[in-house]
Structure 1
Amino acid sequence: MKLSEDGENILERMWVHINEEKNDSMDLGSLGLEAGSPVIRELLEAGNITLSGSHARLSENGSSAGRTVVRRRRLAERLLVDVLNTKEQHVRSSACEFEHILHRGIDENVCILLGHPRTCPHGKQIPEGECCRKAREELEHVVAPLSALKNGQRGRIAYFDMREEQRMQKMLAMGVLPGIPVSLVQSYPSYVFDLNHTRYAVDKEIADSVYIRIERD
């Protein structure tokens, strides 16, 4: 059963509240809803939630559906920032609209395009998809953090997994951008790498946050 956008938005909020904020249920009042609200009736009929008074819980199907909506939302944010260069103040509202068109299959294609990112631009975990699991099994770690490379190993920047804006700006100022070739020179006491005929050194925290698409010999 295909849900309305309102239904998907409620599942998204409930999934985050229950799974990431570690709550057992969600009070309908915090959603501005009542048990007889059309969207609540929709979710009940679809078997996505159960009610106990004014508290709603996710069913197994509802939890799976909510996880998918959260994944689409955060992939949309990643796409808007990394590929479409959307300004920060427009990311959340644009992603809210964009996530509803990332149907199953399309969201997998976006995830593959982005190199299976682990977090959204706001540092929140992106739920793993089937494409991520297959990539791990079939590609044998083709994409790995800079810190996992062996000395002399080469590749291209795939994506960043950084939560601190200052560190991200440092990388951009150095010219560390997706698609740029990079080669690890040494890994101790700091991580030294060559990029665009220039040699740079970074600490482990940064090296853990820069993901490289490794070149195969």
Structure 2
Amino acid sequence: MSPSKEDYIKNIFKDMEERGYSQNKNLSHYLKISKPSVTEMIKKLTEEGLVYLEGTKIYLTDEGEKVAKKLISIHRLWEYFLETVLDFDEDEVHDQADLLEHVTGEKLTDSLNKHMGYPESCPHGQKIYINLENYKK
């Protein structure tokens, strides 16, 4: 999946957590792109079974939510690692984690998670969805 699609999925998930759904105008604002570009990508994500629409409201499918939670967890694992192991300043970790989340494969994610002791949250207190319990299933 392209980093662009991943950014859409993550932002839709964050909107859904906050207000229950997302909309084109919100995504256009967050991603700093035109509304027609958002419409085009939402169409692609719908065709791929990752999102669905109800009027102007955008929702993630179960598969889309699974993808979002994994991406967000990878991001938060990197934040945890950068801040607690490499002593990055708190204001630096987000941008670095944004870069790393898009290039982190399954094996590296698993190793990073294991190395960090399967943390349940990042240093900022936000939930990491892939933890030891996920590996027991």
Secondary structure at the counterpart of residue 13 of structure 2: helix
Contact 1:29–1:54 under 8 Å retained in 2: no
Contact 2:72–2:128 under 8 Å retained in 1: yes
- Alpha-carbon distance between aligned partners in 1 of 2:76 and 2:44, rounded to the nearest angstrom: 24
Q: Residue in 2 aligned with 1:67?
A: 69
Contact 1:81–1:87 under 8 Å retained in 2: yes
2:122 to 117, 120, 129: 120
1:31 to 27, 34, 47: 27
Secondary structure at the counterpart of residue 50 of structure 1: strand
Letter in 2 for 1:25: Y
Contact 2:76–2:122 under 8 Å retained in 1: yes
1:5 to 3, 16, 24: 3
Unmatched runs of 5 consecutive residues or more in structure 1: 138-217
Aligned-pair distance for 1:134? 6.7
Letter in 2 for 1:40: I
The structure with the largest helix share of the pair is 2
What is the root-mean-square deviation of aligned Cα atoms in Å? 2.0
What is the count of residue pairs matched by the alignment? 130
Secondary structure at the counterpart of residue 126 of structure 2: coil
Unmatched runs of 5 consecutive residues or more in structure 2: 29-33
Q: 1:70-149 counterparts in 2 under 5 A?
A: 70-129=72-131, 132-133=132-133
Highest CA radius of gyration, 1 or 2? 1
Larger relative contact order (Cα-Cα within 8 Å, sequence gap ≥ 6): 2
Task: Give the fraction of aligned pairs with identical amino acids, expressed as a percent.
Answer: 24
Contact 2:12–2:27 under 8 Å retained in 1: no
- Alpha-carbon distance between aligned partners in 2 of 1:14 and 1:134, rounded to the nearest angstrom: 23
Aligned-pair distance for 1:25? 1.3
Letter in 1 for 2:119: P
Letter in 1 for 2:20: D
Letter in 2 for 1:133: E
Aligned-pair distance for 1:95? 0.6
Q: Residue in 1 aligned with 2:13?
A: 15
Q: Residue in 2 aligned with 1:143?
A: none
- So what's the TM-score if we normalise by structure 2? 0.83
- Alpha-carbon distance between aligned partners in 2 of 1:82 and 1:36, rounded to the nearest angstrom: 38
- Alpha-carbon distance between aligned partners in 2 of 1:63 and 1:97, rounded to the nearest angstrom: 21
Secondary structure at the counterpart of residue 26 of structure 1: coil
Aligned-pair distance for 1:27? 1.4
- Alpha-carbon distance between aligned partners in 1 of 2:68 and 2:106, rounded to the nearest angstrom: 13
